Amino acid sequence: MQSISYDRATDVRQAIDLAQQPGAKFIGGGTNLLDLYKSGIEKPIHLVDINRLPLADITELPDGGLRIGAMATNTAVATHPLVRERYRMLSEAILNGATTQLRNMATTGGNLLQRTRCYYFTDPTFARCNKRNPGSGCDAIDGFNRIHAILGASDQCIATHPSDMAVALAALDAIVHLQGPNGERQVPMQDFHRLPEDHPEIDTVIQPGELITAVALPAPTFSQHSHYLKVRDRASYAFALVSVAAAIDLDGDTVRDVRIVLGGVAHKPWRAQEAEDALRGQTLSDEALARAGAAAVAGAKDYGHNGFKIELAQRAVIRALQTAGGLA
């Protein structure tokens, strides 16, 4: 059995320095890392415990936005008064994402870094998985792919990203703050996760040894008209077949601005920009909503077992917009 060394970091700089060791992994709540370690998918040699880093605060920014520390638990974020008041969609997404026990442990940074629940990835008895073993192939493409991607996939991988929080954060134009050996940088949430292309083993743009320190939300624009809709096989905290984060800025009955981001359909939260374009300047009529639903799945691909997701996604977009706009 492979031995693992362990260090507990007391500040961000120390954590980053410790993470430069070969095979090092940060560990916070550990809710995903532990599962992957037990199944032999993740094989850390060195664990860097970041639970004592001062990154759990949730603070209002001078411009009216919000800074959420990377170590803030899912429960702390979902129940925070400013999140519930100004970013209701984010609270809804988190509360739909996992049990209370998991939310009490899982962190904001860890949630964004969780890996796909594709069963060909999580079960090492399947030899062909380009995400787990680059270059080996993808058994999901010709296998049982009911939960898999309909948008943005490649001939290397059709896995989906599992996070509910990430979908809402993308719709809210969040910014991910990173710190690493080369200093600090900021990445828009919609650019943080990658599409699979030729390297599905790389989930995000984060560099080795970099640490998520916070997620920043801009001042709320969509606080009055937003909704997170999650469609799943069972109500008891299953991962999304399709989810939709919908947020609308209305000028009377006219859509001034809109955000539509889908989960459960792609390798990353899927921003449906064509659907947004179809709605801007329009009223929320049945015809306009139907056009937005169709535009949201433009280019979607049926891999055999997941074709039902295409119509399901259209209907979910329409329903989420209706709810966000106060029509349902």
Question: What is the SS3 assignment for 251-305?
Answer: ECCEEEEEEEEEECCCCCCEECHHHHHHHCCCECCHHHHHHHHHHHCCCCCCCCC
Q: What is the pLDDT at residue 42?
A: 86
Inside any domain, residue 241: yes
Inside any domain, residue 123: no
> What is the mean pLDDT of the segment spanning 186-203?
97
Among 9, 27, 49, the domain boundary falls at: 49
Q: Tens of pLDDT along 116-138?
A: 999 999 999 999 999 999 999 99
Query: Residue type at 63?
Result: D
Inside any domain, residue 120: no
Inside any domain, residue 130: no
| Integer CA distances (angstroms), 317 to 30, 255, 312, in order | 33, 15, 9
Q: Residue 78 in 3-state DSSP?
A: helix
Label residue 235 by pLDDT band (50, 70, 90): confident
Inside any domain, residue 86: no
The mean predicted confidence, pLDDT, of the chain is 95
Number of structural domains the chain divides into? 2
Q: Tens of pLDDT along 152-166?
A: 999 999 999 999 999
> What is the mean pLDDT of the segment spanning 172-181?
97
Q: Which domain holds residue 44?
A: 1-49
Label residue 1 by pLDDT band (50, 70, 90): low
Q: How far apart are CA 286 and CA 293, in angstroms?
A: 10
Q: Tens of pLDDT along 272-305?
A: 999 999 999 999 999 999 999 999 999 999 999 9
> What is the mean pLDDT of the segment spanning 183-194?
98
Inside any domain, residue 18: yes
Inside any domain, residue 39: yes
Catalogue the E-assigned strands of the chain.
Answer: 5-8, 24-27, 46-49, 58-60, 66-69, 175-180, 183-188, 211-217, 226-231, 242-251, 254-263, 270-271
Write the CATH number for 300: 3.30.390.50
Inside any domain, residue 239: yes
The model carries a pTM of 0.96
Closest CA to 92 of 324, 256, 249, 282: 324
Write the CATH number for 11: 3.30.43.10
> What is the mean pLDDT of the segment spanning 17-46?
89
Q: How far apart are CA 139 and CA 170, in angstroms?
A: 29
Among 49, 66, 84, the domain boundary falls at: 49
Q: Residue 18 in 3-state DSSP?
A: helix
What phi and psi, each to the nearest 5 degrees, are found at residue 200?
A: -70, -15
Q: Which single residue is written with the structure tokens 């693992």?
A: 4
Q: Tens of pLDDT along 59-100?
A: 999 999 999 999 999 999 999 999 999 999 999 999 999 889
Q: How far apart are CA 218 and CA 208, in angstroms?
A: 27
Number of residues that this document lists for the chain: 328
